């Protein structure tokens, strides 16, 4: 590090690297913790900042993204920040129209309906140049963080992005997207390749802009059984990690730890642990000790408190955290929820969760 306290990319020097050390599998003095959707509607200040403009306009404003990313860190001693953005900026950059309908979620007015619709998509190599606003948000946030904690970048995995592009929005069954897998396997692979080709430069661009770790969200893993997952999700999850790492090296950028979070993908835990990611995120349906047995000692685990546990009393949250930390063990572990925070959660209870992780994980190490 240079004497002026600026790191190699001209960013302020990192003061708390606990999250990164845990991600790389190094020993830590306590268990680091962050929360999926920590920048979210449960915070009154988030609702206030967001009230002025529509969702994707917010995503396109580096200043707004920076402010929203930093809000939870002003309240809680979290060990990482995650850039405020959305996984659907990638389909958008590929030329698809996406709107966020209040109370309903994302909507694609013209979803992909047949093979030839893939011709409407832009060249995936051009996607990164469409997403400069995300890179600007990351650089600005990294500067504003002043080295307090690392900044995580993220993207949606190919299958999860495909589900939105084919379904045209959220779905409880993903029947349209799965119909593609069964009726149009070739076109499905073509679409998944296009998405992978878009994601690789996008994730590398996030690191070049200042992201210090990357998380890939396979949020809809649970709609696939083992066969479909191994055919249409896992190969692309592996490919993203392999190609991002190779591209970082070619670009002369330092490696960053990568996290794979495949929600409800418990049937593929062993495969995910060998997919080229340093960290495997778990949802709350997986027993930590069993997960640890299944993935072995080679990866760090992240998770996995049921987000709804935050509706419990602060004392009960403390007990649940204690149990969770006992089950995961002190090292190679990053505490988180098993999914994102919900909008009606009490910020005080989020604070109780973060404090309990820090307090109890220090106690665990003393005994």
Residues with Cβ < 8 Å from 235, sequence gap 6 or more? none
Query: Considering only CA atoms, which of 95, 340, 75 is closest in space to residue 198?
Result: 95
Catalytic choice (86, 239, 264, 283): 86
Q: Which helix (H) or strand (E) holds 152?
A: strand 151-156
Active-site residue flag, 202:
no
Q: Are 362 and 323 within 8 A, CB to CB?
A: no
Active-site residue flag, 50:
yes
Buried b (16+ CB within 10 A) or exposed e, 327-348: ebebebbbbbbbbbbeeebebe
Residue written as tokens 């009393």? 313
SS3 at position 324: helix
Rounded Cα–Cα distance for residues 332 and 349 (Å): 25
Active-site residue flag, 148:
no
First to last CA, the chain: 35
Buried b (16+ CB within 10 A) or exposed e, 93-117: bbebebebeeeeebebeebbeeeeb
Active-site residue flag, 41:
yes
Catalytic choice (30, 164, 236, 360): 164
Catalytic choice (50, 142, 148, 238): 50
State both tokens at 308: 């709804």
Active-site residue flag, 37:
yes
Using alpha carbons only, give the angle 53, 98, 194 rounded to the nearest 5 degrees. 135
The neighbouring-strand residues paired with 27 are none
Q: Which residues are catalytic?
A: 37, 41, 50, 86, 164
């Amino acid at each position: 590090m240079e004497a002026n306290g600026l790191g190699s990319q001209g960013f302020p020097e990192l003061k708390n690297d606990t999250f990164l050390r845990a991600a790389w599998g190094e020993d830590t003095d306590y268990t680091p913790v962050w929360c999926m959707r920590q920048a979210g509607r449960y915070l009154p200040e988030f609702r206030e900042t967001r009230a002025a403009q529509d969702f994707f306009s917010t995503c396109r404003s580096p200043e707004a993204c920076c402010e929203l990313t930093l809000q939870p860190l002003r309240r809680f001693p979290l060990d990482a920040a995650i850039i405020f953005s959305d996984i659907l900026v990638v389909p958008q950059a590929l030329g698809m129209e996406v709107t966020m309908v209040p109370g309903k979620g994302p909507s694609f007015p013209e979803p992909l309906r047949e093979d030839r619709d893939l011709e409407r998509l832009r060249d995936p190599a051009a996607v990164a140049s469409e997403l400069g606003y995300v890179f600007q948000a990351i650089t600005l946030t990294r500067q504003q963080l002043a080295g307090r904690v690392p900044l995580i970048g993220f993207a949606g995995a190919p299958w999860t992005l495909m589900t939105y592009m084919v379904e045209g929005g959220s779905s409880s069954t993903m029947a349209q997207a799965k119909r593609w897998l069964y009726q149009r396997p070739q076109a499905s692979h073509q679409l998944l390749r296009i998405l992978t080709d878009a994601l690789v430069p996008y994730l590398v661009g996030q690191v070049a802009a200042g992201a210090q770790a990357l998380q890939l969200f396979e949020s809809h893993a649970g709609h696939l059984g083992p066969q479909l997952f191994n055919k249409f999700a896992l190969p692309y999850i592996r490919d993203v990690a392999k190609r991002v790492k190779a591209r970082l090296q070619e670009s002369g950028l330092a490696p960053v730890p990568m996290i794979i979070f495949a929600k409800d993908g418990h049937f593929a835990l062993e495969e995910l642990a060998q997919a080229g990611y340093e960290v495997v995120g778990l949802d709350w349906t997986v027993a930590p000790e069993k997960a640890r047995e299944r993935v072995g000692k080679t990866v760090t685990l992240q998770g996995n408190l049921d987000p709804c546990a935050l509706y419990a009393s602060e004392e009960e949250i403390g007990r649940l955290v204690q149990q969770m930390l006992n089950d995961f063990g002190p090292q190679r572990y990053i505490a988180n929820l098993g999914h994102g925070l919900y909008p009606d959660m009490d910020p005080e209870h989020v604070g109780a969760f973060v404090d309990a992780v820090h307090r109890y994980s220090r106690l665990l190490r003393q005994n």
